[in-house]
Amino acid sequence: MKTVIVWYRNDLRVHDHPALSIAAQDGTVVVPVFVLSDDLLSGKRSGSNRNRFLLESLQDVRTSLQNLGSDLIILHGTPNVELPKLAQLTSAEAVYYTADYTPYSLKRDKNMKSTLDTLNIEFRSFPGRLAVSTLDKLHTKTGTIHKVFTPFYKNWLEIQRRAVAELPKLSALPKSVDAGRLPELESITLRDDLSERALPGGETAGRKRLAEFIETDIEDYRETNNDMAADRTSRLSPYLHFGCVSPREVETLLPENSGAAAWHRQLAWREFYHYIMYNNPKTITEPFQERYSVLSWDPNPAFEQAWQDGKTGFPIVDAAMRQIKLEGWMHNRGRLITASFYTKQLWLDWHNGEAYFMKMLLDGDTSNNVGNWQWITSIGVDPAPVYRRLYNPTLQQQNYDPTGAYVRKYVPELQNVPDKYLAEPWTMPAELQEEIGCKMGTNYPNPIVDHKLARLAALERYQAVPRVT
């Protein structure tokens, strides 16, 4: 009789779970387990919104495993201590897990393998985190690492995909094992950090959202994904981050139309950033383009607070920053606008902006969050002239929220501002401000910077960085 432990991490599902499925084929007894560690719940890259989503996802996968005849063991502590103890308690011969690619994950798994090797316990990884089964086969024609998205994307499309794993048949846990209890929400979150309108966690909710998106919105995705008010993006990013839905299975469910192709390309961007950090782990803290390490940012607590609170005086920026507080999520166009504004107009350190997003976002993912922040700050991969990613908030609002519905939804004090003034409410005549009850500096802040002057200053600072010869 062979006992196999399945170590759950950010793969919280039962459908298309290769490690779980093959464990059920290889072992007579399968022991699914999740280890709640302090690093996960209260580390510097943790967040209350994600802790709540995690708790809901664990409860959901536990219910699914119970329906399959098993259960999910919940352990508290350090994986490197708790897993070997569980292996010895259950006489397990192997631990199966889904491979992950961040520097933290790779170091953790290396240490785990070393520990289990001393106990003569197999430690075996499986695909499932990404649509592709491995990142090692993705390279340029000359064998180097991709640094630009489009060639990576073409290569990514050509990589052979694995078959979707079957839903396993499981047996009951050994009687000697206590499944344990999930913690109370209050013990792992800060109530003040929780977003009121956050999506629910779990595979059940994720699969429902996926089905709805494919049924109603994906066909028009190419045309609507940048319409901030329409809100017709998939909102699958939290479920992908926690592994509540499988990116590989999602690929097999996509219809053949231009909208699905455009969404699939966004999935490739997600995997591109995982690929970049896997091959360049230093980018978690350092610019991919090393020459920009010399940039010196200007600390300004007042600017920082205004940005976080959505009170910069630029409506599209403020709407997006209020969305992240309310929902633990932000439209992708809003992420680009707010990050560009933060770094290139307020000249604040991108590390701090990235950290705030990680704190608040349900889908806060180290590889993707760092990759996106470096991309928009013009210090990362896929380089373009700095000015192309130095966004004018007024033009961004006019282009991506032309009716003003997004701004009015999240910044209600601008509800009665006429369309012609909504992108730049400070240009309203004083008598109109008085008439509609929206006085600049009283009901809504004046702009905290002059866009034109801030833009010129940013360009000068980038241009002063020595070029690599």
Q: 383-413 pLDDT, tens per residue? A: 999 999 999 999 999 999 999 999 999 999 9
pLDDT for position 417: 98
> Residue written as tokens 């908030």?
393
**Dihedral of the CA atoms 49, 52, 57, 60 (nearest 10)?**
-150
Q: Is 6 helix (H, G, I), strand (E, B) or coil?
A: strand
Work out the average pLDDT over 417-436: 98
pLDDT per residue as tens digits for the range 1-55: 799 999 999 999 999 999 999 999 999 999 999 999 999 999 999 999 999 999 9
Confidence of residue 190 (pLDDT cuts 50, 70, 90): confident
Q: Which pLDDT does position 431 carry in this prediction?
A: 97
Interval 160-176: pLDDT, tens: 999 999 999 999 999 98
* Under 8 Å between Cβ of 29 and 3: yes
pLDDT higher than threshold 70 for residue 467:
yes
Helix axes 315-327 and 350-360, enclosed angle (nearest 10) = 40
User: In CATH, which superfamily holds the domain spanning 290-463?
Assistant: DNA Cyclobutane Dipyrimidine Photolyase, subunit A, domain 3 (1.10.579.10)
| Fold (topology level) of 3-129 | Rossmann fold (3.40.50)
Q: Are 256 and 429 in contact (CB under 8 A)?
A: no
* pLDDT beyond 80 at 220: yes
Give residue-wise pLDDT tens across range 443-458: 999 999 999 999 999 9
Annotated domain spans of the chain: 3-129, 130-163+202-279, 290-463
On whether the pTM is more than 0.75, the answer is yes
- Give the H/E segment covering residue 42: helix 38-42
> Mean pLDDT over all residues of the chain?
97
Give the integer Cα–Cα distance in Å for 27 and 378: 49
Say which amino acid occupies 270: R
Q: Calculate mean pLDDT across residues 115-142.
A: 97
What is residue 191's predicted lDDT score, i.e. its pLDDT? 86
The torsion defined by the Cα of 397, 422, 330 and 303, in degrees rounded to 10, comes to 100
> What's residue 91's pLDDT?
96
Fold annotation for 130-163+202-279: 1.25.40
Q: Is 30 helix (H, G, I), strand (E, B) or coil?
A: strand
CA angle 232, 238, 240 (to 5 degrees): 100
3-state secondary structure of 33: strand
Under the banding of pLDDT at 50, 70 and 90, the label for residue 299 is very high
Q: What is the mean pLDDT of residues 97-101?
A: 97
Mean pLDDT of 333-359: 98
Predicted pLDDT of residue 469 = 66
Q: What is the pLDDT of residue 185?
A: 94
CB neighbourhood size of 420 (10 A): 9
Please state, in angstroms and rounded to a whole number, the distance separating the CA atoms of residues 79 and 157.
35
| Residues making up the chain, counted from first to last | 469
How far does CA 212 lie from the centroid of its chain? 21
Task: Judge whether 130-163+202-279 and 290-463 match in fold.
Answer: no
pLDDT number for residue 1: 72
